[in-house]
Amino acid sequence: MKGVKCLVLFGILAMTAVAHADYECSSYMDKSAKLSVYVNNITDLGDTVVVLESEDEKKTFFGTMFNEGGGLYKKQIVEFYGTNNTLTIVSQPHQCGRGTCDNFATQKILAQLKHDGSTQNFYCNEKKS
């Protein structure tokens, strides 16, 4: 059974290595740290795969995504399998104010990764379908 799970995981990793992430994020602080988020990537451990890469390491997280909001502001929370760690992705319109709101403009997307007691913030771009 363990062997099967390993195969599944390796398969997913191989797939994510070539697939385009739904979100590509860069850290505010550590320019070398990058985050790739693959939504609707269903495994035994959830529907979302998150890959964190920095100069020293590469970590992969598996979890399930929950959506809040939608019309103007959107919040997506990925709860990582078997831990209290989370990735929160928030989207809001770039340009929206008194009398002006371009609902169809590119969204400003930020992400916050909480894992092992640390918090990292990222700017993100969404893959255009």
The Cα 10–Cα 93 span in angstroms is 37
In which element (H, E) is residue 11 found?
helix 2-18
Q: CB 74 → other proteins: shortest distance, Å?
A: 7
Q: CB 120 → other proteins: shortest distance, Å?
A: 12
Q: CB 93 → other proteins: shortest distance, Å?
A: 8
* 2 half-sphere exposure, CB direction, 13 A CA radius: 0
Binding interface with other proteins (CB under 8 A)? 68-75, 88, 90-92, 95-103, 105, 110, 112, 121
